């Protein structure tokens, strides 16, 4: 059996796994993201000595994904202390001696969802995660989206409902961009307690759904996805997905007469088919691509 | 010489042209968009008897672009009176008896810009037009963007600066979406006179640039385009393009460390290389594609 390695390199935690070509996860570990040196060393230690055919890495970003760039594989302008300019690629390529496929964490998850999850058979879809940060990726015309760098989707501006929500936002770059208003840290900063401790009927969640629906409706109008996959810890809050679906329909207000949206919103805005494994299994899919690339 | 026909079917005017495979326009006419029957008849009359190899149509929308749909080629939910459900494809295919390539007006313009204009050699870019309406298209990974329907980009929500701009917006679906705040009709409704009659130093233009920059910055974060092409009548206002460039940089605030953006904004946000011919020459490119498809 040929084995592949996958790393979901998130801003909060790393998930490292080993799987086969069917995307089945045979072994995995999870540990917190601390300093670059310590965190990458733990990942390297996990894979050391394992007979991998290739490795895939889905990393938080922004990250330089242009193979012809001198900074290829490096984190660029993250607000995460210590991680700017970290090389996410060469340590693994050099120490493990196998081909390494690299993309953003959300593009990796999108690839995993396309191969084995909720986006099978689609050619244009979005994967958006809402947790410590907000980030999105996906496919357009059957290819993972890249362009000048890679899609980002979290730092977009949406209308800030100042009357209902005088909170200024937490983004160090933009204040009240979508991530600044609706990420996990924004919820905690606005209400003074972690989101986990807020009850299901707290007004925090209707406001959260409102901002997320603004972000999703804009993505639908901009990319015309065949489906939108919403993952991340905040989407695990009871009732969040149905609220977002209803508010997206209200925001579009009948403008897009697309049956997939107006007649089947439950099938249009969906959770990840791979659940919390979308990231690491997507990284396995990147590894398989690297082995055959 | 092989001849191709192209139609830029806009909500305000139609441009019909005949050109060769180099995209050179040999002959063209322009007439206002009135009723569907009258307007399509004028276009058919222009092409009647001409020895075309194929026809391309770039139409305003939303339009059904799924070849397997019973409504393929029909305008869907336009607010434009009389045009909902108009079949933009069959009258031409049946009367002219040639292959017909169909896409949105903005995707056609994007294709023209890719072949002969400001997007040559790029694989991911956006073409946004700001005039009677606001609409966008483009390529991702070297292919025109489609998905569930087609990108739309004009009806996205951006922060409405109520303090500076108490105007409610003109969009019949959404009120103050980007098109509702920043299209030509929005400018006229807000200030009580057509934009053409407002002086270059009128505060209307700084507000307009502000909203357009919000829209463009969101597109940059969402699609990671290698370039953004801004066309349409409103972009012809003196000083508008430099204002939008400066405000986009201010909104991104250093978050995206992409040299193409931060070091060369003049080369990143650009006017159409084909000028006002982008639409009709893009339709010629659609025709060439249809002939060889």
Show the tokens assigned to A226.
């065949």
Cα–Cα–Cα angle for B6, B10, B13, rounded to 5 degrees: 95
**CA distances (Å), origin A23, targets A2, A289, B151:** 11, 12, 32
3-state helix, strand, coil in chain A (%, to 5): 40, 20, 40
3-state secondary structure of B48: coil
Span B161-170, pLDDT tens digits: 999 999 999 9
- A 206-235 residues with CB below 8 A of B? 214, 217-219, 221-226
Chain A CB within 8 Å of residue B193 CB = no
Asked if domains B3-108+276-291 and B118-271 share a fold, the reply is: yes
Show the tokens assigned to A96.
């493990």
| Domain covering B118-271, topology | Nucleotidyltransferase; domain 5 (3.30.420)
Q: What is the pTM of this model?
A: 0.96
Best of B138, B212, B223 to substitute, by most chain A Cβ atoms within 10 angstroms, is B223
Pick out chain A residues at pLDDT < 70. Answer: none
Give me the pLDDT at residue A60, please: 93
Give me the pLDDT at residue A293, please: 74
Chain A CB within 8 Å of residue B168 CB = no
For residue A218, which of B179, B225, B153 has the smallest C-alpha distance?
B153
- B 57-76 residues with CB below 8 A of A? 62, 76
Tell me the backbone φ, ψ of residue A225, rounded to 5 degrees. -65, 150
* Cross-strand pairs, A137: A127
Best of B71, B121, B125, B218 to substitute, by most chain A Cβ atoms within 10 angstroms, is B218
Count the neighbouring beta carbons within 10 Å of the beta carbon of residue A175: 14
Rounded Cα distance, A117 and A111, in Å: 9
Count the neighbouring beta carbons within 10 Å of the beta carbon of residue B38: 11
Give me the pLDDT at residue B79, please: 73
Q: Which of A77, A148, A222 sits opposite B222 (nearest CB)?
A: A222
> What is the domain partition of chain A in residue ranges?
3-108+276-291, 118-271
Give me the pLDDT at residue A80, please: 82
DSSP assignment string, A209-242? HHHHHHHHHHHHHHH--SEEEEESGGGGSTTHHH
Supply the DSSP symbol for B171. B
Show the tokens assigned to A132.
């410590």
Contact predicate A127/A113, CB 8 Å: yes
Chain B CB within 8 Å of residue A78 CB = no
Q: Which CATH class is domain A3-108+276-291?
A: alpha beta
Best of B111, B147, B228, B262 to substitute, by most chain A Cβ atoms within 10 angstroms, is B147
Chain A CB within 8 Å of residue B255 CB = yes
Give me the pLDDT at residue A79, please: 72
**CA distances (Å), origin A258, targets A18, A118, B67:** 40, 19, 14
Q: Which of B76, B145, B157 sits opposite A217 (nearest CB)?
A: B157
Find the residue in A nearest to B220 (Cα): A151
Chain A CB within 8 Å of residue B262 CB = no
Best of B140, B162, B175, B227 to substitute, by most chain A Cβ atoms within 10 angstroms, is B140
Check CB contact under 8 Å for B143 and A141: yes
Check CB contact under 8 Å for A224 and B140: no
Rounded Cα distance, A203 and A206, in Å: 5
Span B124-182, pLDDT tens digits: 999 999 999 999 999 999 999 999 999 999 999 999 999 999 999 999 999 999 999 99
Rounded Cα distance, B97 and B91, in Å: 10
Give me the pLDDT at residue B78, please: 78
Pick out chain B residues at pLDDT < 70. Answer: none
Give me the pLDDT at residue A256, please: 87
Show the tokens assigned to A48.
């050391």
Check CB contact under 8 Å for A148 and B226: yes
Q: Which of A124, A145, A258 sits opposite B224 (nearest CB)?
A: A145
**Residues of chain A with C-beta less than 8 angstroms from the C-beta of B140:** 140-141, 143, 145, 147
Q: Which of B62, B123, B260 sits opposite A256 (nearest CB)?
A: B62
């Amino acid at each position: 059996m040929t084995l592949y390695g996958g790393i979901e390199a998130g801003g909060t935690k790393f998930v490292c796994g080993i799987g086969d070509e069917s995307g089945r996860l045979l072994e995995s570990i999870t540990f917190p993201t601390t300093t670059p040196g310590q965190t990458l060393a733990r990942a390297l230690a996990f894979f050391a000595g394992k007979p991998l055919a290739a490795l895939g890495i889905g990393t938080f970003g922004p990250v330089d994904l242009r193979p012809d760039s001198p900074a290829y594989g490096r984190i660029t302008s993250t607000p995460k202390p210590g991680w700017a300019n970290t090389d996410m690629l060469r340590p693994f390529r050099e120490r493990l001696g196998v081909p390494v496929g690299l993309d953003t964490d959300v593009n990796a998850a999108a690839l995993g969802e396309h191969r084995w999850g909720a986006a099978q058979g689609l050619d244009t879809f979005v994967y958006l995660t809402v947790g410590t940060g907000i980030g999105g990726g996906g496919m357009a015309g059957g290819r993972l989206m890249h362009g000048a760098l890679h899609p980002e989707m979290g730092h977009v501006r949406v209308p800030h409902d100042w009357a209902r929500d005088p909170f200024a936002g937490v983004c160090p770059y933009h204040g009240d961009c979508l991530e600044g208003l609706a990420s996990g840290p924004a919820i905690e900063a606005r209400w003074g307690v972690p989101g986990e401790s807020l009850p299901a009927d707290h007004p925090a969640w209707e406001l959260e759904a409102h901002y997320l629906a603004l972000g999703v409706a804009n993505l639908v109008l901009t990319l015309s996805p065949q489906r939108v996959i919403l993952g991340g810890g905040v989407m695990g809050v009871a009732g969040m997905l149905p609220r977002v679906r209803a508010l997206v329909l209200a925001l579009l207000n009948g403008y897009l007469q697309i049956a997939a949206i107006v007649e089947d919103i439950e099938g249009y805005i969906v959770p990840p088919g791979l659940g919390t494994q979308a990231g690491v299994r997507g990284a396995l899919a990147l590894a398989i691509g690297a082995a055959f690339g």
